[in-house]
Amino acid sequence: MMNRLTLKSLSAEPFRIFFPLGTLAGILGVALWPLYLKGVTEFYPGLTHARIMAFGLFGGFIFGFLGTAMPRMFTAKPLTAGEVLPFAVIHIAMVLSFAYGKMAWGDALFLLLLLGFAGSMLFRAKQRKDLPPPGFVLVGLSLICVASGAVISLLENRMELDPFWIVLQRLLSSQGFVLLPILGIGPFLLPRFFGMQSAHDLPESRNPTRIWLKKATTALVTGIVIIATFVLEVKGWFHTAYAIRGAVVCLYLLLEMPFRRGPDATNAMGMAIRLALFGVMAGFIAVSAFPEYRVSLLHLTLIGGFAVMTFTVATRVVFGHSGNIALLKRRNRWLLIAIGLMLFAMATRISGDFWPKIMASHYIYGAVIWIAGVLLWSIYVLPKVLVANTEE
């Protein structure tokens, strides 16, 4: 049964607002490179691109997903228009601030958005009738990471900081903010995509049970070790840092994800999720082996892993909440083509760093191809954010 969306229902499921905003932020963040290389803009987009992709693209999808899922997991009331609309305005202002090179303004706006969102979730946590899945400890840890990164960024704009803090800020704000939620949400969510029971889907309880505490402790230790590898990386121990990070991520996924019982990759969703998990690991392994190319090779994780996982999970969320879940059982070649374009763009971007003579052109081609993949995904997915499903 379909129902017409209202402002109240849009706010109750904020992915309907934040997924489009995150998509637009990602397109803008990537477009900064060809605009700069073609002389349209004058400032070098390195930092602005990184901030827009981390806080704008990934942040938009993370806030949209958690804003929809967390109140349901707490069995609390959903977000209201009075909360979501200001969050959306702050998100837009933040992305535009970064795009215009106003880093201090962008960092301050992101911290304001993060604190407001965390406050809304803590308010509902106090009213909870149930605990979130134990892996969501990593979600909380990721918010602490990115909040710390935002504070360091604000301090950097006001005073001269030791390079240690500057590099640590980038790791906390990019990898910490995105990797930890993927690990925390994945064991609960991804098995359900295939109709499987998740080991993190525990009976309703307002207080922690023994099995909840056990799995939450495993998640917390995993997160702490990953953050410790950030410190090792800042200290210059690149081989060790990425080897440990990759090993910990792999071990956690093997322990918490039912890979052995997972179905074959017979459709686009299954293949996309497997590609994303492989991309995350491939980047860590590649950087561990060739740390001198870490900025370039890390795009295996950022684009091939994080971005592919983000768009794949968003596809499932949008289709599920619009009454189109049955469509995901089809081949959905459009999704494979969209992801294929993103991966081809990733390879083009990486290759530019290995052949300096073609670097500029490959940066441009890579950006254009990635945007094409995202636009193709948007055509098939984003219109459905305006379709309500009262049975979901």
- Which of 114, 129, 110, 135 shows the shortest CA–CA distance to 189? 135
CA 100 and chain centroid, separation? 23
332 torsion bin: left (phi>0), alpha (psi -120 to 50), beta (else): left
The sign of the torsion formed by the CA atoms of 312, 173, 137, 204 equals: negative
Over residues 291-318, the mean pLDDT reads 93
Lowest mean pLDDT among 267-271, 285-289, 315-319, 367-371: 267-271
Mean pLDDT of all residues in 88-112: 96
| Percent of residues, the chain, with pLDDT higher than 90 | 69
Helices and strands of the chain, counted as H and E runs: 17, 2
State the Cα–Cα distance between residues 26 and 18, nearest whole angstrom. Answer: 12
pLDDT at residue 390, as a whole number: 53
Q: Residue 112 above 50 pLDDT?
A: yes
How far apart, in whole angstroms, are the C-alpha atoms of residue 207 and residue 316? 30
Rounded to whole angstroms, the Cα distance separating 225 from 364 reads 37
- What percentage of residues in the chain have a pLDDT greater than 70? 95
pLDDT tens, 133-167? 899 999 999 999 999 999 999 998 888 888 899 99
Q: What is the pLDDT of residues 5-24, one digit of tens each?
A: 788 889 999 999 999 999 99
DSSP state of 329: G
At 339, list the tokens.
């992801």
CA 277 to chain centre: 13
Q: Is the per-residue pLDDT at 263 higher than 80?
A: no
SS3 209: coil
Lowest mean pLDDT among 68-72, 102-106, 174-178, 257-261: 257-261
pLDDT at 262: 52
Do 304 and 370 touch, CB atoms closer than 8 A? no
